[in-house]
Chain A
C-alpha cells in the first residue's frame, strides 16, 4: 500500500513524542535532584550566615574572619539574612548590622544594584539598603524612580529618615498616581510621627491638592495640634470625602473650634459627612452635642443613625441617658438603633468606634 505523506509524518511523530517524553522525564528527575541539593546547601549556608550575624550583633563587634566568612556567602543568602535581621533589629543592633554589611561589601553591592537600569535589580538593592538603614544618595534618587514598586520601596526607606528634604518629598508624593506608592507614603509618614506634621500641615493648606483625602488620613493618625487649622478649613471643602476626613481629624484633635465645626457638619447634605461628624463628636466626647446627635438618630440614612448612636454610647452618662430616652422615640428607626447599640457589649462598642 502506498504510504501518504500524512502517514509518514504520523509514523515519525510517535518516535518524536516518545523521545520527548523520555527527555522530559529525565530533565524533571535531574532538576528535582538539583533542587533538593540546592535547598540543602542553601539551608546550610543560611544557618552559617545567621550564626555569624547573631554573634556580631550580640557582641557588638565583628572580627575580620567573621566578615570574610560572611562575604564568601552567596549573594542570595546575604540578601535574605539582611532582610531577616534588618526587619527585626533596631538601634545599636541595626547599626552593627549595617557596619558588618558595609565591611562585607554588601552595602556597596546593594548601592550598585540600586543604580541599575533594571527595575528588579534596583528593587533588590533598595531592599537591602532599607534593611541596613543606610542613608545614601542613590536611595534619595529612587524616591523619584520611574518604577512604582521601586519608588514604593524608597518610601519605606524614607520612614527611617528624619530629614526635612526627605519628608517634604514624601508629603509631595501623597498625590502619587500609583495606589501602592500612596499607601506606602501614608504609612511612612505615620511611622515618622511628629516630625512629619509641619510638612503635612503645609500640604493641607492648599485646598486644590489632589492628595488631600489621603493626607487627612495621615493627619488623623498623627493627631498633632498644627494640623487643626488646615482641618478646620478643609471641613468646608467642596469635596465630600475631604469634608468627611477633615471631620475625623477634628475628632482626634478636639477643642471648642473643632466641636463647633463638627456640629455644623451634622447638617451636611452628604450622609457620609454627617456620619463622620457624628463619629468625631463621639471621639471628642462632646456631651454638649448629645441633643444634636439625638436628632440624627432619626436621620433617613442608616450609617448616620448608627454612628450617632455609637457616638452617644461612647459619651458615657449623658449619651447613655439620651439613648435610653430614644427607646421611646416616636420614630421607630431611632428607637431600633438606640436599642441595638444599647445591647452591644462594651468591648464591641469600643471597637466599633475605634
Chain B
C-alpha cells in the first residue's frame, strides 16, 4: 500500500478528527488567502481604474494628491504647450466641483466634472451621445445614479447651480441638456455626477478659480511610452509635477494604502503560524496516541523512511485538502470583507480591496505547504526515533 493510501486509511478511521483538522486548515487558509489578496488588491484595482481612462500620465500643480493641492492655472496654455511635445499624444484637463440640482423643494448634491479643452465624457457612455461644444444650453452627460435620482434621460433638461445644497450662493441656477448617461470610473457609491465641458463649468461659475484645472490627463505616444512623456514634460515645465501611473501608485503604496498592506502582512504571518500550530498539534497528538501502532508497524518491517512517508502523506492530505477548500472559501470571505471595506467614504465604487491574482494562489499553497511540512517535523521525528521493543512492552503493560 502506498503512503498516501495508508494515510487515507489512518484518517478515515477517525473521520471526525480528520474533518475537523481539514476544516481548521480550510478556515485559517481562507483567511491567509484573503490577506494575500488584500496585500496588493487596492493597488491592482486602482491601477485598473487609472488605466481604464486610457491616459498613462498625470500632471498636477504640486506633489499633493489631486483635489488636495493647488489647481493648475491657465490649463489651456499648458495643454497647448504639452501637445507640442513629440512624446505626448493627447492631453485633457479635468476639474471637479460641487454642485446642486433641485428635486421637488430640495436640492441634491451633484459632483460636476469639467473636461477640456475638447468636450468629451470621462466615462464609458451607456446611453445617448457624447458632449459637443454647444453652449446654450450647455450639454451634460450624467451617471446612472443622477439619472435615476432625478429621473432624467438623454433629451431631458437638468438644472444645476454651483455649491453644495447647504451653501449660500448668489449664482443663479442654469439649465443643461442631458445628452448621455455614462459610467464614470472614479464615482463613489451613491455619487451623482454630471460631466460637462470646462467652458460650460466656467460659464456656470462652478468653483472659485475660473480658469483652473485640478489635473491634466496625458496619453503618451505608444512608440515613446509614459516614462519618456514624463521626462519630456519635466524638461518643458519643471514647475509642474508629472507622474506615470506606476509613480502615482508608488505614492499611494507609501501613503494611504500602506495600512492595508501592513495589516495583511501581519495577518499573513499570524495565520501561517496558526496553520502550523494547528497541524503540528493535531499530528503530534495523533502520533502520541498511536505510538503502539507505529512500533508494531516498525516491528513488522516498516522502515523509518516508510513511517516518515506515511506521516508526511497524512499531513499532506489534511493540509492539501484544507488548502484547496480554502480557495473557494477564501473567495467568498473576500467578497464579504470587500463589501465591508468598500463602505468607507470617499472611495470609488469600482475600487476593490481584494483582487484575485495567480501569484496569490501559488503563494497561499506554498505557505500552507511549508507550514504543514514544518508542523510534521516533530511528530515524524518522534515516530522514527521510537524504541520498538520498549514501546510495545509499555503498550502491553498499560
Q: Report if A and B associate in a common complex.
A: no
What residues of chain B have their CB less than 8 Å away from a CB belonging to chain A? none
